[in-house]
Chains A and B, each alone.
Chain A
């Protein structure tokens, strides 16, 4: 089965609002968690990542929350802007293997 799941294929948020993107994973050996941004016909670009020894990491308008017991992590984007419109991919991996497993993506649309 799919190791990493993004249950919401799409999300629409008003400009200035908070975008919350969710990701669930199955393998409790995973200890690296990341969010990538992808535009159509472009490559994924890393936004932010965390290791399993922290449950939160902030970087500007981006915050990753990790809930290991629930095997869930999320990306919060504050003050969402139309330029944030893109597909967001979550990824997780096991430090022993350096393999990233990706979710299917959530298409975020920020409306002016």
Chain B
């Protein structure tokens, strides 16, 4: 059974619309993250959460808003979508938000295309 679920796997949106990317982890982890990989660019850190609290935000745009309704959920709301937002968005988790157990497990990703 998959331990980190991301929904949907593929998503097509029109410019200016709003979408929510879903992430749920069943590893019992306390820290969750969002990363983004655009075409021909490295995987890029966006947000980290620990116990549902924002720890770090390296996303310049406020159009990206994480939402954590439960400890094992970290959704990503993206508003006013632009073609440059097209990327694969990966959710990840780790046991805790410190380096004692730093291994981050990644979900399968949501591939977003903005037309």
Residues on A facing B (Cβ under 8 Å): 2, 4, 31-32, 34, 42-46, 49, 51, 89, 91, 93, 95, 97-105
A98's partner among B98, B106, B107, B109 (CB-CB below 8 A) is B98
CB pair A98–B102 under 8 Å, yes or no, is yes
Smallest distance from the beta carbon of A63 to chain B beta carbons, Å?
A: 18
Residues on B facing A (Cβ under 8 Å): 4, 31, 35, 40-45, 48, 55-56, 58, 90, 94, 97-99, 102-109
A-B contact count (CB 8 A): 59
CB pair B108–A43 under 8 Å, yes or no, is yes
Q: Given A43-B4, A44-B43, A101-B42, 12 other A-B contacts at CB below 8 A?
A: A32-B102, A43-B108, A46-B104, A91-B43, A95-B98, A97-B56, A98-B55, A98-B56, A98-B98, A98-B99, A98-B102, A103-B42
CB within 8 Å for A104 and B42 given contacts A42-B108, A43-B107? yes
CB pair B42–A105 under 8 Å, yes or no, is yes
Assembled-state Cα–Cα distance A89/B103 (Å): 14
Smallest distance from the beta carbon of B62 to chain A beta carbons, Å?
A: 19
CB pair A43–B99 under 8 Å, yes or no, is no
